[in-house]
Structure 1
Amino acid sequence: MAGKAAAATVAKVAAEYPWREKLTKYKTELTKGVWGYWDLGAWKPLALSARKRARLRKEVLLAGEDWPYDPPRGEMRNKRKGHKCDRISAEKRANTAELMKKMPQMLLDYKKRRWEKKMKQEDGKS
């Protein structure tokens, strides 16, 4: 009697979650990789097709379960797109704007240095 109840429960779970059977069936295959694996120097594709793998993954994720068989994601690409000359010219324009803000003080410093140099030369002559 208990065996029938357990069998009925297993059948109910299997009917409710058909992906669980597939997941246990293909567990070893899924752990080998996403596309295939190297075996003794030869590339072997998975026994599970990509379409079936994707469908199984979708069913598992829709049921709210975790899917640990995806490969780790690489870092995002941070290289800028566009032409380097455009980027450099924009940086130069920004640098020029900063320098133009400092220009009055730079001119005063230059005039002061020049005046000090002139005074040293006059002191040296006399």
Structure 2
Amino acid sequence: MMTGKSVKSVAKAVGEYQYPWQEKLARYKDELSKGVWGYWELGAWKRLGISARHRACLRKVVLVAGEDWTYDPERKEMKTKRKGHKCDRIVAQNRATTAELMQKMPQMLADYRKRRWEKKMNEEDAKAEKN
């Protein structure tokens, strides 16, 4: 009879201790809601009462248990602008501009030859009028 009672008490103790994270979460609830790293109070920075390592451990256990963790800060929008060296971007722009200009090159040369020919004809006409 005695062993049956002791087994029940042990089972009850194990059953109660199955979710120790709930006790920790209840104990640090107000601390966790103040921020991730700390908070400003009366113009002074105060760190949290729970360390970052223990906070991360508690967070992991809560998430593994299938509960919601609402104490993380909101995620910022991801940057769409890619990093890199400015010289690489400029080289790419220059190559694109050069390719575009090479498409227009035959017309540009024809216009240049036409202008030069007209200038030469005007000079010859001016010389002919002087004489």
Please confirm whether the aligned pair reaches a TM-score higher than 0.5, indicating the same fold. yes
Q: Tell me, yes or no, if structure 1 residue 80 matches structure 2 residue 83.
A: yes
Q: How does 1:18-37 map to 2 (within 5 A)?
A: 18-37=20-39
Which segment is superposed worse, 69-78 or 91-100?
69-78
Matches of 1:68 and 1:113 in 2, distance apart? 75
**Structure 2, unaligned runs of 5 or more:** 1-10, 127-131
Aligned residues: 112
The C-alpha deviation readout for 1:65-119, integer Å capped at 9, x for no partner, is 221111122333435222x2232122101210122123234444x269749x77x
CA gap of 1:29–1:107, structure 2 versus 1, over 3 A, is: same
Which residue number corresponds to residue 63 of structure 2?
61
**Structure 1, unaligned runs of 5 or more:** 1-7
Larger radius of gyration: 2
Q: How does 1:10-21 map to 2 (within 5 A)?
A: 12=15, 14-21=16-23
SS in 2 for 1:91: helix
CA RMSD of aligned residues (A): 3.3
| AA partner of residue 50 (structure 1) | A
Matches of 1:64 and 1:28 in 2, distance apart? 21
SS in 1 for 2:71: coil
Identity score, percent:
61
Matches of 2:108 and 2:64 in 1, distance apart? 66
Which residue number corresponds to residue 89 of structure 1?
91
TM-score, normalized by length of structure 2?
0.66
TM-score, normalized by length of structure 1?
0.68
Matches of 1:87 and 1:75 in 2, distance apart? 24
The C-alpha deviation readout for 1:25-49, integer Å capped at 9, x for no partner, is 1111100001111111111111111
Which residue number corresponds to residue 3 of structure 2?
none
Matches of 1:81 and 1:90 in 2, distance apart? 12
